[in-house]
């Protein structure tokens, strides 16, 4: 028998709310950066960087002996830019397609990173599985003091990354837009297309590393690609696409985490699954709407066709 004097526990605890907030910050930060990858048709490059930065993380730890975010962020950013350079060089001088160059680059660096992580794990509790899959459920147990409030350390870093992303996008919006839609024309206007590209790759690497602790290197790919790809199905305009991608990132993070609580499964994996469901559902709705519109247009054309007159027979 339940004692009525004991109040029932809330469905969502304070830890659940902090975990959900961290997931939202990770999704929005990665989703905004990922929009530019989708527009540039470089979604696979985001996948490559999210895997290839692993040796940068392990190398930073082996050199510094610490798991602080800043050394790992620096090492991963360097490797992320190197990934873009290596894949571009292989595609230009190796006489292979860009997708083949990306495949060779990120699989080789990813394998090297796994080996380095295994070596680093001998010196400290550095589990490669945590880096690959993330530990979103344990985020509330590692907190920092922020303006007198104890907040998850991963959430604080992700919030800072999101603020920096928004500031950089507002500052370089024209350059990003010009180099994303027509890089040849942007080069004729004097814009440093290569520099903008490297800056975007550095931003992708930085957001990937900051999101590692929450969702891991594998599942962060869904957050990089899915919101932007889903928003692109609904609109052809850039600014609405960015807003819509942010809304999709927020909704998938919340729905995915609530579903994970209900099913008692991995939160990060469920969020990635909800991203896939949202994309497939949007693709189905948009395709059906386009088919209905084409059918209505054909029916209207048939009705408006001139009919033969009987007096001409």
pLDDT score for 244: 94
144: closest CA among 158, 131, 134?
Answer: 158
pLDDT score for 2: 46
pLDDT score for 67: 66
pLDDT score for 7: 47
- Which residues of the chain have a pLDDT value below 50? 1-2, 6-9, 312-313
pLDDT tens profile 169-188: 999 998 899 888 888 888 88
In Å, what is the CA distance from 128 to each residue of 35, 51, 217? Answer: 28, 12, 10
Q: What is the CA radius of gyration of the chain?
A: 24
pLDDT score for 251: 93
Burial of 127 from C-beta contacts in 10 A (0-12 / 13-18 / 19+): exposed
pLDDT score for 200: 85
End-to-end CA distance of the chain: 91
**Rounded CA gap, 80 and 288, in Å?**
39
CB-CB contact of 56 with 72 (8 Å):
yes
pLDDT score for 9: 46
Record the tokens describing residue 122, joined without a space: 């001998």
pLDDT score for 254: 92
Structural domains of the chain, ranges and CATH numbers in brackets: 14-221 (1.10.3470.10)
Residue linked to tokens 């902090």: 18
pLDDT score for 42: 81
pTM of the model: 0.81
Helix residue ranges, H only, the chain: 14-39, 43-52, 54-64, 69-93, 98-121, 128-133, 153-171, 173-181, 183-188, 193-234, 238-263, 267-303
**Rounded CA gap, 18 and 205, in Å?**
24
């Amino acid at each position: 028998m339940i004692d009525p004097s004991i109040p029932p526990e809330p469905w969502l605890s304070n830890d659940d709310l902090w975990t959900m907030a961290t997931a939202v910050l990770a999704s929005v930060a990665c989703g905004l950066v990922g929009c530019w990858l989708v527009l540039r048709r470089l979604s696979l490059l985001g996948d490559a960087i999210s895997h290839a930065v692993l040796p940068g993380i392990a190398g930073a730890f082996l050199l510094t002996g610490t798991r602080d975010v800043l050394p790992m962020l620096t090492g991963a950013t360097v490797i992320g830019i190197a990934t873009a350079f290596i894949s571009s060089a292989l595609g230009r001088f190796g006489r292979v397609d860009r997708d083949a160059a990306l495949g060779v680059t990120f699989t080789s660096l990813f394998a090297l990173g796994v080996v380095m992580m295994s070596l680093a794990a001998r010196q400290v509790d550095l589990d490669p599985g945590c880096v690959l899959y993330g530990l979103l459920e344990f985020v509330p147990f590692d907190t920092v003091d922020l303006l007198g409030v104890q907040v998850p350390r991963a959430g604080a870093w992700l919030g800072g990354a999101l603020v920096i992303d928004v500031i950089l996008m507002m500052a370089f919006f024209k350059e990003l837009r010009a180099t994303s839609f027509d890089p040849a024309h942007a080069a004729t206007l004097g814009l440093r297309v290569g520099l903008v590209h490297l800056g975007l790759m550095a931003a992708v690497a930085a957001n990937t590393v900051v999101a590692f602790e929450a969702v891991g290197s594998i599942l962060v790919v869904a957050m990089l690609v899915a919101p932007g790809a889903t928003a692109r199905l609904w609109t052809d305009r850039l600014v609405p696409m960015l807003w819509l991608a942010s809304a999709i990132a927020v909704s998938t993070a919340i729905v995915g985490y609530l579903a994970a609580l209900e099913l008692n499964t991995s939160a990060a994996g469920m969020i990635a699954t909800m991203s896939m469901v949202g994309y497939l559902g949007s693709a189905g709705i948009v395709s059906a709407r386009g088919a209905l519109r084409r059918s209505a247009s054909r029916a209207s054309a048939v009705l408006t066709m001139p009919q033969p007159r009987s007096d001409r027979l």
